[in-house]
Amino acid sequence: MNSDWYKDRVFYQIWPRSFKDGNGDGIGDLYGVYEKLDYLKELGIGGIWFSPFYPSPNADYGYDISDYYSISPEYGDLEIFKKVLDRAHSLDIKVILDLVINHTSDEHEWFRQSRDKDSPFRDFYFWRKGKKPGKAPNNWSSFFSKGAWTLDPKTMEHYLHLHHVKQVDLNMDNPAVREEVKKIMRFWLDMGVDGFREDVITYISKPKTLPDDVFFQAVKGLRFYDCGPRIHEYLQEFRTDVLDKYDCFTVGEAPMITPEKALTFVSGPHPDLNMVFGFRHMEADCLLKEYIPLPFNLRKLKRAFTHWQKALNGRAWNALYLENHDHPRVLSRYGSEKYHDESGKMLAVSYMLQKGTPFVFQGQELGMTNFALKDISQYKDCVAHNVYARAAKILPEKLVMSVIQRATRDNCRSPLQWSGAANAGFSEAEPWFPVNKNYPSINAEDEDRDSDSVLNFYRKVIAFRTQSDIVRNGDYKELMPMHPHLYVYERRWQGQTLLVICSFTEKACRFRFPKGFDPSKAQPVLCNYKNAPQADGRTLLTRPYEALVYKFY
């Protein structure tokens, strides 16, 4: 965990089920990934993060693991994975895996055995008696189901699951569990993997007494298991015993975390993790979660971006993203489907030129968008079903469906649009999940040929940022923070400055070059329109969703 290679690369997240079907059964797989490694190389990608591809009953599509040491037959086997790994490495692409250790599937062998009170695996999980007969051991709620506890009639004890009933929380206080985690890490690192994205890692340490949530704290997202009492101790143990012995890196998923708290994980001489994924910037059009929608608010987005940039500057390294497998497509949220190409490109500029390591989620580079299905039965996301089961009882069906259509994670999980051919070129068979109907106009093959496409613009931005010292090292400063439609920031490094101007509206906005930025000395480096902007002396008028980047010497 000593070298800095992760700072110079752009990562690409593959959600294997929807990336590319290589063996014709309608399900994405590692054969498909192998075929498409050159596509990623051409995009300028320097690292892949694989969402889970391990055996899983798929209650939460791979985030419920039943065996940590192999590949689900749906996606291939260890042999094809090793081929993917070798070929990626020969293209100078690093590979990191999803490490899901907060919970296992209820079909994992440890959990099967732990259902027996006398099993040595009993203490791998949280088994507790109810407060009273018929009552859960505490009042914790679950993200994906009704309550966080499920009663096992065999022993009349409840087990803890913060997510789906089939995702059982591991008891990290048990040293045997931590040894198993280390074994898993070593297994994949020894195979040549370059690190891990660590799933809900800030939840792995629960307080011993499992105290009840305090209502007013819980509504703000403050939970006793979030950054729990022994979290740093455990992460240090993983680092010292395993990670330090490899040239690898880690990025932890940290729901709700503030930058100040994040620093306790990612700064100092021997940090727990190299980077964390924060969530604040994903809340610019909702209240905490996409399921409570609000109008898009650029100031909220800018505040979140700038807060992280400032807090971590010189102390730690940011992980930059606008999409992953847990959020609807960003173009449909913060951009505009009407100005598809313009806003898709502008969004790329808005986050990728900040300081940190950018992540691109599959299809984001094509400008893939949300798409609505009519009936709840067509959705696969367990969160959508949980929300439906609870909300449709008390609210009109139409309203509930419209919220689900906008918020569900399935929006970004439709098959990747490779071409205008049948099934979007994703598979020869009918895909496991419907393809977005807009694939005839939004797809990789056509965008590859069109020099003006979103895809080709991503290639440009990635190439630019990978070669730019200013983007890698420069200080970040936001300008015009109160502007409701323009996001403007500068990056400064060794006497050179980049000025980044992004418009988040179709309206024309008058932009005045601030003091110290002489427009006659501005060298344009990126723009999402073919022609130069409409400039006039010290000011310019932005076009819909325009992105402009200038360099000043």
The total of other beta-carbon atoms located within 10 Å of residue 236's CB is: 14
Residue number with the shortest CB distance to Ca ion? 29
Determine the Cα–Cα distance for residues 80 and 186; give it in Å rounded to an integer. 20
The correct pick among 27, 43, 284, 549 for binding Ca ion (CB under 5 A) is 27
Q: Do residues 225 and 207 lie in contact, with contact meaning Cβ atoms separated by under 8 Å? A: yes
The correct pick among 17, 20, 158, 163 for binding ligand GLC (CB under 6 A) is 163
Task: List the interface residues with Ca ion, window 298-317 (CB under 5 A).
Answer: none
Q: Does 63 bind ligand GLC (CB under 6 A)?
A: yes
Q: What is the CA radius of gyration of the chain?
A: 23
Residue closer to Ca ion, measured from CB, 428 or 448:
428
Task: List the interface residues with Ca ion, window 28-87 (CB under 5 A).
Answer: 29
Q: Does 169 bind ligand GLC (CB under 6 A)?
A: no
Strand 510-512 and strand 249-253: pairing?
Answer: unpaired
Catalytic residue among 29, 64, 106, 253: 253
Q: Is 123 designated active site? A: no
Q: Does 290 bind ligand GLC (CB under 6 A)?
A: no
Q: Does 365 bind Ca ion (CB under 5 A)?
A: no
Determine the Cα–Cα distance for residues 316 and 325; give it in Å rounded to an integer. 25
**Token pair 């062998």 in the structure block, residue:** 109
Residue closer to ligand GLC, measured from CB, 319 or 525:
319
Binds 25, which of ligand GLC, Ca ion, none (CB < 5 to 8 A, cut-off by type)?
Ca ion
Binds 194, which of Ca ion, ligand GLC, none (CB < 5 to 8 A, cut-off by type)?
none
- Binding range to Ca ion, per CB under 5 A, among 22-30, 47-55, 212-220, 300-308: 22-30
Determine the Cα–Cα distance for residues 144 and 152; give it in Å rounded to an integer. 19
Q: Does 226 bind ligand GLC (CB under 6 A)?
A: no
Residue type, 450: D
Q: Does 237 bind Ca ion (CB under 5 A)?
A: no
Q: Does 326 bind ligand GLC (CB under 6 A)?
A: yes
Binds 200, which of Ca ion, ligand GLC, none (CB < 5 to 8 A, cut-off by type)?
ligand GLC
Residue 154 buriedness (CB in 10 A; 0-12 / 13-18 / 19+): exposed
- Sequence length of the chain is 553
Residue in 329, 357, 544 with CA at minimum distance from that of residue 417: 329
Residue in 544, 532, 2, 547 with CA at minimum distance from that of residue 271: 2
Binds 60, which of ligand GLC, Ca ion, none (CB < 5 to 8 A, cut-off by type)?
ligand GLC
Binds 199, which of Ca ion, ligand GLC, none (CB < 5 to 8 A, cut-off by type)?
ligand GLC
Q: Could you give the string, one character per residue 366-405, with x where binding to Ca ion holds by CB under 5 A and - elsewhere?
A: ----------------------------------------
Determine the Cα–Cα distance for residues 489 and 309; give it in Å rounded to an integer. 11
227: tokens are 């950054």
Residue number with the shortest CB distance to ligand GLC? 63
Q: Does 200 bind ligand GLC (CB under 6 A)?
A: yes
Q: Bridge-partner residues for 287, per DSSP?
A: 289
Determine the Cα–Cα distance for residues 343 and 170; give it in Å rounded to an integer. 42
Determine the Cα–Cα distance for residues 10 and 353; give it in Å rounded to an integer. 11
Determine the Cα–Cα distance for residues 344 and 366; give it in Å rounded to an integer. 8
Residue closer to ligand GLC, measured from CB, 222 or 399:
222
The correct pick among 27, 32, 53, 60 for binding ligand GLC (CB under 6 A) is 60
Residue closer to ligand GLC, measured from CB, 100 or 384:
100
Instruction: Please tell me the count of residues contacting ligand GLC according to CB under 6 A.
Output: 9
Binds 63, which of ligand GLC, Ca ion, none (CB < 5 to 8 A, cut-off by type)?
ligand GLC
Q: Do residues 442 and 374 lie in contact, with contact meaning Cβ atoms separated by under 8 Å? A: no
- Distance of closest approach, residue 362 Cβ to ligand GLC, in angstroms: 14
Kindly list the strands in the beta sheet with 496-503, ordered across the sheet, starting from the edge strand earlier in the chain. Answer: 475-479, 486-493, 496-503, 547-552, 523-527
Q: Which DSSP string corresponds to 229-296?
A: TTHHHHHHHHHHHTGGGSS-EEEEE-TT--HHHHHHHH-SSS-S-SEEE--GGGGTTEESEEEEE---
DSSP state of 125: B
- Distance of closest approach, residue 27 Cβ to ligand GLC, in angstroms: 18
Catalytic residue among 198, 199, 410, 546: 199
Q: Does 23 bind Ca ion (CB under 5 A)?
A: yes
- Distance of closest approach, residue 21 Cβ to ligand GLC, in angstroms: 21
- Distance of closest approach, residue 60 Cβ to ligand GLC, in angstroms: 5
Residue in 195, 117, 198, 201 with CA at minimum distance from that of residue 159: 117
Distances (CA, A) of 171 to 124, 160, 206, 405, 491: 5, 10, 8, 35, 44
Q: How many CA atoms lie within 13 A of 348 on its CB side?
A: 32
Q: Is 67 designated active site? A: no
Q: Could you give the string, one character per residue 73-112, with x where binding to ligand GLC holds by CB under 6 A and - elsewhere?
A: ---------------------------x------------
The residues of the shown chain that bind Ca ion, judged by CB under 5 A, are 21, 23, 25, 27, 29
Residues belonging to the active site: 199, 253
The residues of the shown chain that bind ligand GLC, judged by CB under 6 A, are 60, 63, 100, 163, 199-200, 253, 325-326
